[in-house]
Amino acid sequence: MIRGLDTTVKRLRHQVFTEVANLGFNVNPDTLNDDMEAIPYKMVNEDTPRYRENIYRARSIVRERLRLAMGLSLRPEDKPVHLTAGVEASNISEKYYEPPLMQVIPSACEACEAKGYEVSNMCKGCLAHPCMEVCPKGAISFVKGKSFIDQSKCIKCGKCKSACPYDAIAKKERPCAMACGVGAIGSDKMGRAKIDNDKCVSCGMCMVNCPFGAISDKSQIFQLARALSEGEEIIAELAPAYIGQFGDNVTQRNMKEALKKLGFKEIYEVALGADIGAIAEAHHYVEKVATGELPFLLTSCCPSWAMLAKKQFPDMVDQVSQELTPMVATARTIKQKHPDARVVFIGPCAAKKLEASRRTVRSDVDFVITFEELQAMFDAKKIVPSECGGNSSLHNATGAGRGYAVAGGVAEAIEKCINEYYPGVPVHIEHAEGLAECKKALMLAKAGRMNGCLIEGMGCPGGCVAGAGTNISIPKAQKEVKSLVKNSSKALPGKELVEIQLD
Phi, psi of 294, rounded to the nearest 5 degrees: -115, 145
Average pLDDT, the chain: 93
Contact 424, 167 (CB under 8 A): no
Residue 244 backbone zone (phi > 0: left; psi -120 to 50: alpha; other: beta): left
Sign of CA dihedral 309, 174, 221, 402: positive
Task: Give the predicted TM-score (pTM) of the model.
Answer: 0.93
- Are β-strands 297-298 and 428-433 bridged in parallel, bridged antiparallel, or unpaired? unpaired
Alpha carbon 218 to its chain's center: 12
Whether residue 440 is predicted with pLDDT greater than 90 in this model: the reply is yes
**CA torsion angle 460 465 467 468 (round to 10):** -130
Q: Is the pLDDT of residue 352 over 50?
A: yes
Write out pLDDT tens, residues 43-72. Answer: 999 999 888 889 999 999 999 999 999 999
Half-sphere exposure of 247 (CA within 13 A, CB side): 16
State the pLDDT at residue 208. Answer: 95
Q: How far apart are CA 463 and CA 318, in angstroms?
A: 24
Instruction: Name the residue among 156, 192, 162, 198 with its Cα closest to residue 177.
Output: 192
> What is the pLDDT, as a whole number, of residue 359?
87
Q: What is the pLDDT of residue 500?
A: 52
pLDDT over 50 at 302, yes or no = yes
Query: Which tens digit of pLDDT belongs to each residue from 96-130?
Result: 888 899 999 999 999 998 889 999 999 999 999 99
User: Rounded to an integer, what distance in angstroms lies between the CA atom of residue 237 and that of residue 231?
Assistant: 18
Residue 499 has pLDDT above 80, yes or no: no
Burial class (CB in 10 A: 0-12, 13-18, 19+), 337: exposed
Q: Quick count: other Cβ atoms within 10 Å of Cβ 101?
A: 22
Alpha helices, H only, 338-432: 352-355, 371-380, 399-402, 409-421
| 258 vs 396: CA distance, rounded Å | 19
Model confidence at 498, pLDDT cuts 50, 70, 90, reads low
Question: What are the φ/ψ torsions at residue 62 (nearest 5 degrees)?
Answer: -60, -40
Percent of the chain with pLDDT over 90: 88
CA 370 to chain centre: 8
CA angle 176, 180, 183 (to 5 degrees): 110
Residue range 305-324, pLDDT digits in tens: 999 999 999 999 899 998 89
67 forms beta bridges with none
Q: 263, 378 in Cβ contact below 8 A? A: no
Percent of the chain scored above 70 by pLDDT?
A: 98
CB distance 151 to 140 below 8 Å: no
pLDDT at 234 over 50: yes
Instruction: Answer for the pair 296, 445: CB distance below 8 angstroms, yes or no.
Output: yes
pLDDT reported for residue 438: 97
What is the Cα Rg of the chain in Å?
Answer: 24
* 457, 436 contact by CB (below 8 A): no
In single-letter form, the type of residue at position 61 comes to I
Residue 442 has what pLDDT?
Answer: 97
Whether 501 shows a pLDDT value over 50: the answer reads no
pLDDT digits (tens, 9 = 90+) for 152-181: 999 999 999 999 999 999 999 999 999 999
**pLDDT value of position 502:** 39
No. of helices (H) and no. of strands (E), the chain: 19, 15
User: 202: which residues sit within 8 A by CB, 6+ positions away?
Assistant: 100, 101, 102, 217, 303, 304, 307, 350, 351, 353, 354
